[in-house]
Amino acid sequence: VIQKPSDLGPGFSDEGYTLPPLTITYHEVKASAVGLKDQESDGQLRLLRDTAVGLQEAAREKRESLETRVEKLRELIHTWEGRVGNEKQLVIWCDLDAEQRAIEKMLKEEGISCASLFGSQKTDEREALMNLWKNRERRAFLSKLTMYGAGTNLQQAAKMFYPGVGYKFRDWIQGIHREYRFGQKEPVDVEVIYTEAEATILKTLLEKKTQHETLTAQL
């Protein structure tokens, strides 16, 4: 829970360890239309799918809303590039292989070079792609939190996108801290996309975030 040197006591200076501002913005998109008439156990028809039913429902919503979320990601990248130009690097975290492939395709259509790292790639291939991004020969870094959401240093970028949400707070917050970490010189901007059917998941995620911040402050 130590966040900065002064947490260890008054004799420790925070010089060089003060982080710039962090902004997290949440964007809701429509739930997928597929499967909205699923039947409940009591015979009633479900008008809106509630992903709080379980992980299986959440995974299905993520698959069926894929196109909607990728198009929202395209829109957000357009808006961001309109403000900063087209040279800044970015990080995109995804969950599914199909999602990663769809984002790759979208980035290619937008003329954005991408280092996309999959678990199925050989280690040497992933390292080469990572080096291309770190050498600024690729603009977008695209991978999964389960692979690179902890331990990697990506703070040469200050823009991050989550085209979906999940229940795992630790993975989510660790992903943010790949950019928002000591050595970051620019304000970090994170944009999160979720469907209206995933509102409960986001609520749970934000509750865990509040608990984490409260616990850290108390300790």
Q: What's the predicted TM-score (pTM) here? A: 0.86
Q: Is 70 exceeded by the pLDDT of residue 47?
A: no
CB contact set of 94 (below 8 Å; sequence gap of 6+): 100, 103, 142, 143, 144, 163, 164
pLDDT in tens, 53-74: 566 777 788 889 999 999 999 9
Do the Cβ atoms of 129 and 197 come closer than 8 Å?
no
How far, in Å, CA of 100 to CA of 81, rounded?
Answer: 21
